[in-house]
Chains A and B, each alone.
Chain A
């Protein structure tokens, strides 16, 4: 492969991964605080539609992004209020919301189907973009790509290097203990559910205003929300590994698209579902690695054991349970 096509591959992987990274990191924040927001697939679609609609009507991409973030945060607020304060099953609320928001997006977005709208402009990073060959490809990307790459260290730093991050994790691991130390777990959980939701909304806008521009039924991002949810598990609830998972997944998608050219007899739709068995396989591997017998087997193979240790990740202990102060 020549240098040029390699950098094009890299550029399309970064672009494909950007919304996925943003959404998965948002969900990581939410789940680290102990709340599971299962509404991602519908949230992404509805916020993508709202972003396009607002940007189309106002001509402002920025307004589109803001409206999308507000939309998905509002959906997340429902998960939070129903799940945390009303004691309903978080997965039930999330699943009902995911189905409803999808239909809501199609219903409200109907008049905006197949229209030309404003798009996120590609931003040139001065200096770097002038590097021959790779410069124009890697450093002239939509803003969302840089945002996604910036978010990775930012979320990590927030979670593991700040006092608020420590509180966040405490609430997700042991809300009772956090409560006795004067933290209100429910308020914290609601806050990070909203924050995670807002990021999901930005991811939705990144799709309809940049990576997969426009609106229609289907938009083409149906199913991505579920993949983002799976990537959070795959990444063991650790922001760096979650981002890596999103990049890996994007790489597979890009390879899938080029594979279509190699085997034209296989319908395109088959390649589109290829990530899902891989998702199951990945989750299976992550889980099996925690088995006693397999760990024992790995101990004799230090190289593999090191790799396996990287894949290991435990969910926040209070994930999905609602805390009740007495």
Chain B
């Protein structure tokens, strides 16, 4: 436990030193930059609720990735699965406009998003298990295809009457927004969903037979067949769960954040989720906290262009620096352990 704390502090120190150096190089004050990052994310309840709005999809994606990683799969396609989830949700919500029971459509829409995300993941899984195409390239290719589909929808069949533009589809009416509390920017429903996802994943991965089998497949993919099912089937199930959670995240982006379909609907949270899981060293417990930290960086960095004329991509640099210093620290630990034995 003490070692974990030490490592965490070490990782943070290395990445903050690197970031400070970088900010100094472009002629700005690191203290100012960190102040704006902190103030922009935790400065008020309204800002913090924006952080939570990023935390929810980021956590869902990271949880999904964990299932795939357990079987040894790199589900880089999580980004595209999120996009397909957004499409699935937006598609059903379009049908719900002017209906008598908008809430029913809202729930159906989320389910359809999760299904479409799962389907997109299944495609990547099949390409891997049946076609022998490495999941990194299958997933990545499908991400770009998903982006193409979104753009085609926004500029084609789903375009706003008269004008098609990068600003997205026609916004949905208020009845189709997820209900929220007075003064809240974040939907309590979405928040509950994410927390449930964490608890459910904890139980599945660490306390169920299914979770054990996933782990066994990850350790030795050739140990077939396990309890009647082949290792490949377990891989497919894991990647489908991964895709469903990413699809759900995409669906929430449409139904509770943007209230329409926009080209950048995923905000890159799929790729960011991969970094979250790596920094968590592929363990569940640190994920919610790292996701919160990353979400705060994303939201806080919005202040940088306005207050300091710095590019907001600094948040991404900090996130990457954290992961790299973590890999460095883990690697040095390994080296030390190897030298001892």
Interface residues of chain A, those whose CB is within 8 Å of chain B, are 38, 78, 82, 85-88, 91-93, 95-97, 99-104, 106-108, 110-111, 217, 223, 226, 229-230, 233, 266-267, 269-270, 272-274, 276-277, 279-280, 283-284, 287-288, 290, 324
Contacts and interface: CB of A to CB of B under 8 A. Distances in A.
Instruction: Tell me which of B133, B315, B332 has the highest count of chain A C-beta atoms within 10 A of its own C-beta.
Output: B133
Contacts of A78: 324
Interface stretch (B50-58, B87-95, B114-122, B141-149): B141-149
B74 to A, nearest CB: 6
A107 B22 contact: yes
B248 interface: no
Given A86-B334, A273-B148, A280 B320 contact: no
Instruction: Tell me which of A78, A82, A283 has the highest count of chain B C-beta atoms within 10 A of its own C-beta.
Output: A283
Contact of A86 (B134, B144, B148, B328): B328
B310 A99 contact: no
A294 B147 CA distance: 33
B335 A288 contact: no
Given A100-B319, A107-B317, A82 B141 contact: no
Nearest to B151: A269
Given A86-B332, A91-B74, A96 B132 contact: no
A223 B141 CA distance: 10
B137 A283 contact: yes
B286 interface: no
Interface string B74-115: 101000000000000000000000000000000000000000
Contacts of B331: 82, 85-88
List 6 A-B pairs, minimum CB-CB distance, nearest first.
A100-B320, A86-B331, A103-B316, A273-B148, A287-B132, A276-B144
Contacts of B127: 280, 284
Contacts of B200: none
Interface stretch (B5-13, B208-216, B233-241, B271-279): B271-279
Given A86-B334, A99-B275, A233-B137, A110 B311 contact: yes
Nearest to A273: B148
B183 interface: no
21 contacts: A88-B327, A88-B330, A95-B278, A96-B320, A99-B319, A100-B317, A103-B320, A104-B22, A104-B313, A107-B314, A107-B316, A267-B155, A267-B164, A269-B151, A272-B148, A273-B147, A273-B148, A280-B137, A280-B141, A287-B133, A290-B132
Given A87-B334, A107-B22, A92 B133 contact: no
A96 B278 contact: yes
Contacts of A38: 136
A269 B136 contact: no
B317 A103 contact: yes
B208 to A, nearest CB: 27
A264 to B, nearest CB: 12
Contacts of A223: 144
A217 B142 CA distance: 23
B77 to A, nearest CB: 11
B131 A267 contact: no
Contacts of B313: 102-104, 106-107, 217
A276 B334 CA distance: 38
A93 B320 CA distance: 10
Interface string B19-44: 00010011000000000000000000
B184 interface: no
Nearest to B314: A107
Given A88-B327, A276-B145, A284 B317 contact: no
B152 interface: yes
Interface of B: 22, 25-26, 74, 76, 127, 131-134, 136-138, 140-142, 144-145, 147-148, 151-152, 155-156, 164, 271-272, 274-275, 278, 310-311, 313-317, 319-321, 323-324, 327-328, 330-332, 334-335, 338
A283 B332 contact: no
Contacts of A217: 311, 313
Given A86-B334, A267-B156, A100 B137 contact: no
A40 B331 CA distance: 22
Nearest to B326: A96
Contacts of A267: 151-152, 155-156, 164
B282 to A, nearest CB: 10
A233 B134 contact: yes
Contacts of A273: 144-145, 147-148, 151
A288 B314 contact: no
B132 A288 contact: yes
Nearest to A324: B338
A274 B149 CA distance: 11
Given A96-B323, A280-B137, A104 B317 contact: yes
A88 B90 CA distance: 40
A279 B127 CA distance: 12
A156 to B, nearest CB: 24
Nearest to B25: A108
Contacts of A82: 324, 327-328, 331
A305 to B, nearest CB: 19
Given A106-B313, A276-B141, A277-B141, A99 B320 contact: yes
Contacts of B164: 267
A99 B138 contact: no
Given A87-B335, A100-B320, 8 more contacts: A88-B331, A99-B319, A107-B22, A110-B310, A269-B155, A273-B151, A276-B142, A324-B338
A276 B145 CA distance: 7
A183 to B, nearest CB: 22
Contacts of A266: 152, 156
Nearest to B154: A267
A96 B74 CA distance: 13
Contacts of A290: 132
B320 A97 contact: yes
A37 to B, nearest CB: 13
A91 to B, nearest CB: 6
